[in-house]
Amino acid sequence: MMKLPRRDFLKVACAAAATSALLPPALALDYPTRPVRFVVGFPPGGQQDIMARLIGQWLSERLGQQFLVENRSGAGGNIAAEAVINSPPDGYTMLLVGSPNAINATLYEKLNFVFLRDIAPVGSFARTPLVMEVHPSVPATTVPEFIAYAKANPGKINYASAGMGTPQHVSAELLKILTGINIVHVPYRGSAPALVDMLAGQVQAMIDPLPASIEFVRSGRLRPLAVTSAARWPALPNLPTVAEFVPGYLAESWYGAGVPRNTPAEIVDRLNREINAGLANARIAARIVELGATVQSGSPADFGQMIAEEIEKWGKVVKASGAKVE
């Protein structure tokens, strides 16, 4: 076999490396060539599922392959996250990322993954405020009145949530931390049964995603006190924010997509561009507003920074509340 001089060998090796470096972008240009799984960590019909199907349908139309929503509920979304993390990093498995993923990072002591390390952010879709609401039997019509009533009756007000560590739970715990009130957590298995008991007066208060409660609010069956977003909500412009009375308070649900780490950057960027194109589409944007959310687009880096900030924020609340799930 003929041996190349070392200098020539290095030239050939460098040329081969340069050629291989071009392969991922070339492959990304053909992506996707088969259906993509879009994994959601919660049952069908909830807002995470609805968001995934909305964005998945858009991506199917744009990229010519089906983005198939797969519901893998359990452990507050951790089962779905782990399934995606353990999938090949080839762009054919995506995760619907949401606020529970950020909360779970400190809520669960024994996870088999580190979310911020093991999921590559693709991009965000939307944000949704929660609404602070009470049963009409509660003698409070404003946030200050509720705080005063709670302080006058420590440990006597029960608040509902969709379960330990859910956005409803940590949002109320943040309110407790910032105001010093003592209200008692009553966890349920989801928002629906919690709302049933709220409507019956079995529990007195709840901080719930606005889309789930808005019809009860509009009908007067539940009394809204404020929304948890930074600004007032356009659909309920006369309803103040919690932060107008409790400086520094902010709690929102949010939605986006992630893929296993080491997924080629070209595929991540392609998905991000197509998702942002969907968010700029009038039909998609209008549907997101109908769902009680606001559009939030951005780069993968923007979404990654937001996830990191949310993990840090809710980690402090989880630790202060003492909440833990094995």
pTM, two decimal places: 0.83
CATH match for 129-244 among 3.40.640.10, 3.40.190.10, 3.40.50.300, 3.30.2420.10: 3.40.190.10
- Give the mean pLDDT of the chain: 90
Is pLDDT larger for residue 222 or for residue 190? 222
| Residues 125-157: tens digit of each pLDDT | 999 999 999 999 999 999 999 999 999 999 999
Same fold, 36-128+253-321 and 129-244: yes
| Residues 276-292: tens digit of each pLDDT | 999 999 999 999 988 88
**Domain locations along the chain:** 36-128+253-321, 129-244
| Residues 55-90: tens digit of each pLDDT | 999 999 999 999 999 999 888 899 999 999 999 999
| Nearest Cα residue to 228 out of 219, 213, 45, 187 | 213
The CATH class given to the 36-128+253-321 domain equals: alpha beta
